[in-house]
Structure 1
């Protein structure tokens, strides 16, 4: 089954209703692979300052594609799930909160999914970063981090897509998906993702890639079913 409908979206403020945790009986599993066919597009990165830390001019791919055409850092999620499985421990990257670091003038990780709450932001570079997060065009946080080892916290309590930039280094970019349910996953090096414990029913599967375009595909999950999908980006 292949998704073909392309939908442009700002992907913020998915919904205001709170997600309800319930016991899921006979939940299904959705496994998929996101692939890219064709020539991988690239962009030129031209550091305008701090070359000793940030490096020089370089050409980088705009999509991370592996040898088997799998797309890394695509996000798969079920749209508008009002109730289902509990948020699990996998939603915590540390004992405190998820982390976004700044290393050699790049954000790490480039894409992540977090539960609504706090994002820890670190500066591992010996120079000033001004870390600026946006819900759409609206500022979510704006943090000056002048020293190596600096840390700060950003409150991201509203579900939606947060674009993160550095005002001091214009090429830096990261994406944080603040999830409105646990039914989210990010693809690995092989382009694979798995979403499990899905209550039986009909859903809209959304595939996001950092070009800010999405693919939407209707899926029907039956009791105990294991669905497999391949989603192609062109």
Structure 2
């Protein structure tokens, strides 16, 4: 019975892949421009301790093209991302198939990774409106999306636009990787056997959502960028952007539960700017972390 069920899942996944491929071809003609961000962002408000917290306003505009230039007297933006609100409860996972492989998957998945000092890991920090600056570092390494123990690894990552990305199935069960950007399906690849690999490219900058139709709890995020001023925060919420041309910018911070918020930052020639930002809770969730104790 389990073999019949597994065969049915594989056939269903193939059908989904073919259907999405046809849909992707239709959507390509109507694809949005590279700037696919929302019209409303968050901007910084000064706090008594010198940190910044988000508040809503219209954005100034986001660069959709990027020019590599020689950066003279570049500055550094460094700091931490923090969250003082109530941390949401983890998402509960119910493994209903491929138990031998997927049983190692955590039964709860955090929507926010916040440590005891309120620092936020796996947030993405970037200069939202920069249009010229340094080149990407030289590297022969490919970005990788691995499917292992019925999870995507890494959960959040940054990828250069139009660079090759290797997709791997490390599990002995079938997976498919369904990538979408807003309402547009980018690709849907079936990998029914362990060790299978495929290479794809993300053409447009912006947030890409990954999911597996075979195991619906699998989810991950890829941030596609045209410039190198973008990083994922460490477990301690830290980030560092180097070689930034002097000027005033919008510093974007994205987190999967809270979404995107924007903070003002000024970079001075040859100087290091400390930016300890505090993410704003969602509307209706303005309580502080102390209330959960």
Query: How high is the TM-score relative to the length of structure 2?
Result: 0.72
Q: Distance in 1 between matches of 2:106 and 2:53?
A: 37
Q: Distance in 1 between matches of 2:55 and 2:94?
A: 34
* Greater helix content: 2
Structure 1 residue ranges, 4+ long, deviating more than 4 angstroms after superposition:
6-9
Partner of 2:53: 3
Q: 1:6 to 1:186 in 2, by over 3 A?
A: farther
| Aligned: 1:127 with 2:173 | yes
The answer to whether the 8 Å contact 2:63/2:130 transfers is no
How do residues 14-163 of structure 1 correspond to structure 2 at under 5 angstroms?
Answer: 16-17=64-65, 19-41=66-88, 42-55=90-103, 58-89=107-138, 92=139, 95-116=140-161, 117-163=163-209
Counterpart among 204, 226, 235 of residue 180 in structure 1: 226
SS at structure 2 position matched to 1:53: helix
Structure 1: state its 5+ residue gaps. Answer: none
The answer to whether the 8 Å contact 1:99/1:119 transfers is yes
Q: Distance in 1 between matches of 2:85 and 2:262?
A: 21
The answer to whether the 8 Å contact 1:15/1:159 transfers is no
Counterpart among 207, 211, 217 of residue 165 in structure 1: 211
Determine which structure has greater relative contact order: mean sequence separation of CA pairs < 8 Å that are 6+ residues apart, divided by chain length: 1
Partner of 1:229: 275
SS at structure 1 position matched to 2:115: coil
Q: 1:195 to 1:57 in 2, by over 3 A?
A: closer
| Mean CA deviation greater in 200-209 or 62-71 | 62-71
Cα root mean square deviation, aligned: 2.0
1:212 CA displacement: 5.5
1:112-131 CA-partner distances (Å, limit 9, x unpaired):
00111221100000000011
Q: Distance in 2 between matches of 1:198 and 1:187?
A: 18
1:135-164 CA-partner distances (Å, limit 9, x unpaired):
111011110000110001122121111100
What count of residue pairs does the alignment treat as equivalent? 225
* Greater strand content: 1
The answer to whether the 8 Å contact 2:266/2:273 transfers is no
Query: How high is the TM-score relative to the length of structure 1?
Result: 0.90
Q: 1:181 to 1:160 in 2, by over 3 A?
A: same
| Mean CA deviation greater in 122-131 or 149-158 | 149-158
Q: 1:212 to 1:68 in 2, by over 3 A?
A: closer
Q: Distance in 1 between matches of 2:219 and 2:56?
A: 23
| Rg larger for | 2
